Amino acid sequence: MRLAILSHTEHFRVGSSWQGLEPTVREIRQLTSVFDGIVHAACGYPGSPSVQTLPYESDRIKFQPLKPAGGLRMFNKLGILSAAPSNLAVAMRVVAQADVVQLRLPTGMGMYLLPAMLLAGRRKYWSKYAGNWIQERPPLSYALQRWWLKNCQSQPVTVNGQWNDASHILAFENPCLSGSEVELARARASTKDYSAALRLCFVGRVEKAKGVDRILAGLGASSHKAEIERVDFIGSGSDLEYWQRKAAATGVRCFFHGQLPRERINVFYADAHCLLLPSESEGFPKVVAEAAAFGVIPVVSAVSAIPQYVNNLNGFLWDPRDSFPEWFAGLPLDNRALLRVLGGKIVELAERFTYEHYCQRIEREVLPLLNTNG
């Protein structure tokens, strides 16, 4: 059974091969346990990678480059239209050679890929919507794609969280760990000392939308500064010097490490006690599950699907209607017995985000629906 994947995932030419974003490549490698061959049609960029990438390392996975298009500025967004004819032609050739198709949404290309699948008469496909399915004010293109997925098709759509939608909308965890990685992380978590000086971490894009400004304000207002040994910020950002200056005024030791490969991030997870992520909007952040495997307690915003996995039994949930600095100042970070309990419970979350669990659900729940539709 051959799978075609259509996405906007960034790929870069490294030497003689293409490499893609690390989380996506790790996931697609695992899909070879379900499919005999995979072709991934996605954006191929010139030049050196500006993000963490990996090769596919499998002759059963082929990459088909598409013209990169889109961006934050209006001029860049117009590029989606100019690249559409070429990308659509390539995508449809890839689709024609596949038995099953996965659309990874939302993307700018989704605006024409969804209607194209309908017009081409393709029925054996499913859409993986990785964003916030219940976002109140999404970008217009995201809102239109969400409306289409809800109202214009019966093919399965996998989303973050359960929202009592139509039967073809399936709540699906976004995988990020192998079973062996969970076992190794659990072993490290079992030896974690929650009575030691606290180590906090942030993993993600170092920007306001991810809550970095709130974190620094919260640290500055915290009544538990003496409890906090250090805070590690891991991830890229366009203005790291600005955030470093803000961090220096908090009175807490903060370190900015930039972008790191997964193996290096795991070292920080192994030592950390809490993960800070008071972001504005999420589907379900993979870093929460990754950190959970190491017993890292989430300190996160109650948005989208997050409260369906994190609660007062395994973490700390911030209501975005409240002041984060005031809420953070009141956290019982000095209650080490409580932290030990929360850390022990959050470890259980990781098993729901393994590739093995994900692939089993595709075989058990998604593919039978495609056969019905076909």
pLDDT digits (tens, 9 = 90+) for 131-142: 899 998 899 999
- Based on the fold, state whether residues 369 and 221 are members of the same structural domain: no
Paired tokens of 363:
């075989």
- Based on the fold, state whether residues 117 and 127 are members of the same structural domain: yes
pLDDT for the residue numbered 50:
75
pLDDT for the residue numbered 77:
57
- Based on the fold, state whether residues 165 and 304 are members of the same structural domain: no
**261 or 41: whose pLDDT is higher?**
41
User: Cis peptide before 106, with omega less than 30 degrees from 0?
Assistant: yes
d(CA 247, CA 31): 41
Mean pLDDT score across all residues of the chain: 93
- Based on the fold, state whether residues 109 and 256 are members of the same structural domain: no
Q: What letter does residue 311 receive in the DSSP assignment? A: -
- Based on the fold, state whether residues 29 and 165 are members of the same structural domain: yes
Paired tokens of 30:
């695992």
- Based on the fold, state whether residues 53 and 106 are members of the same structural domain: yes
Cα radius of gyration rounded to whole Å, the chain:
21
- Listed range (9-13, 90-94, 120-124, 215-219) with the worst mean pLDDT: 120-124
CB distance 192 to 266 below 8 Å: no
- Based on the fold, state whether residues 110 and 157 are members of the same structural domain: yes
**46 or 94: whose pLDDT is higher?**
94
- Based on the fold, state whether residues 369 and 255 are members of the same structural domain: no
- Based on the fold, state whether residues 167 and 188 are members of the same structural domain: no
Q: Is residue 144 over pLDDT 90?
A: yes
- Listed range (43-52, 92-101, 118-127, 301-310) with the worst mean pLDDT: 43-52
pLDDT for the residue numbered 72:
52
Q: Structural domain of residue 205, as residue ranges?
A: 179-353
CB distance 327 to 219 below 8 Å: no
- Based on the fold, state whether residues 254 and 359 are members of the same structural domain: no
- Based on the fold, state whether residues 229 and 336 are members of the same structural domain: yes
d(CA 323, CA 244): 22
pLDDT for the residue numbered 373:
65
pLDDT for the residue numbered 69:
77
- Based on the fold, state whether residues 139 and 12 are members of the same structural domain: yes
Per the structure, how many domains does the chain have?
A: 2
CATH number at residue 259: 3.40.50.2000
- Residue 29: count other Cβ atoms within 10 Å of its Cβ: 19
Q: Is residue 301 over pLDDT 90?
A: yes
d(CA 27, CA 5): 12
Average pLDDT over residues 254-262: 94
Average pLDDT over residues 44-59: 88
Place of tokens 């992380």: 185
Specify the pTM: 0.92
